[in-house]
Amino acid sequence: MSKALERRAKNRERLIEAAERSIATGGLAGLKTRDLAGELGIANGAVYNLVDDVDELILRVGSRTLARLDAALTAAERDGPADPPDTLVRIAVGYCDFAADNLELWRALFEHRMAPGKTVPDWAVSEQMDLFGHIYRPLAALFPARSPRELSVTARSLFSAVHGMVALGLEHKLIAVPIEGLRSEVATIVRAMVKGLANARS
C-alpha cells in the first residue's frame, strides 16, 4: 500500500471512531462532520475523500455497534445451559443490557434514515440480518419440525417484541422502568412467549 493510501485508511478509521464518540455522547442529532474534520485536523471537504457521505459514515459506526452487539449476544448465548428457552431468555436480557449500556449508539441503529432516494447498502443489511441467527438457532433447536420460513417469522416477532419492551422501557416516556425491573420483565415475557409457542403446536 502506498503511503497516501495508508494515510487515507488511517484517517478513515479515525473519522469513524470520532463519529462513534460523537454519537455515543450526543446522539445522531449531534453529529456534525465539521466538528469531526476539526478533531482530525483535516479540511471540512476532505471528510468526503474518506467516506462517500454522512450515511456511509453512520452505517460504518453502526457496523461497529452491531459487531459489539454480536459479541455481547454470543457471550449471553454461552453464559449458561444450552437449553433453548434459557438461551433465548439470556439473549433477550443481553440485548436489554447492551441497549442500556450503549444507549445512543443503539438508538442510532434504529433512528438513522438514509438520504431520500437512497437505500441501505447490501453489506449493511446483511450485517443486520446476521444478528437474527442468535434467535434463529435456539428456535430451530426448540422447534425442529418448523420450516426455515416459519422460524424466521418467529425470530423476527420475538426480536420485535423484545426490542419494543427495551425501547419503551429505556425511553423514559410513557413507560419508564428501572433497568433491573426491565430485565426481569423481558425475561418473564420471553419465557412466556416461548412456552406459549411450544404449547400452540402440542
Asked if 76 touches its own copies (CB under 8 A), the answer is no
Asked if 175 touches its own copies (CB under 8 A), the answer is yes
What is the Cα–Cα distance from 112 to 114, expressed in whole angstroms?
7
Among 169, 178, 179, 183, binds its own copies (CB under 8 A): 169
Asked if 153 touches its own copies (CB under 8 A), the answer is yes
What is the Cα–Cα distance from 184 to 97, expressed in whole angstroms?
11
**8 φ/ψ angles, rounded to the nearest 5 degrees:** -65, -45
Return the beta strands (E) in 17-136 as ranges: none
What is the Cα–Cα distance from 184 to 180, expressed in whole angstroms?
6
Q: Quick count: other Cβ atoms within 10 Å of Cβ 163?
A: 16
Asked if 165 touches its own copies (CB under 8 A), the answer is yes
Asked if 177 touches its own copies (CB under 8 A), the answer is yes
Instruction: Please tell me the count of residues contacting its own copies according to CB under 8 A.
Output: 36
Asked if 15 touches its own copies (CB under 8 A), the answer is no
Of the candidates 117, 118, 106, which has an alpha carbon nearest to the alpha carbon of residue 169? Answer: 106
Angle between helices 84-101 and 103-111 (to 10 degrees): 100
Among the residue ranges 7-15, 51-59, 134-142, 160-168, the one whose residues contact its own copies (CB under 8 A): 160-168
Asked if 191 touches its own copies (CB under 8 A), the answer is yes
Q: Which amino acid is at 70?
A: D
Asked if 195 touches its own copies (CB under 8 A), the answer is yes
Asked if 167 touches its own copies (CB under 8 A), the answer is yes
Site residues (CB under 8 A) for its own copies?
Answer: 110, 113, 120, 128, 153, 156-165, 167-169, 173-175, 177, 181, 185-186, 188-189, 191-197, 199-200
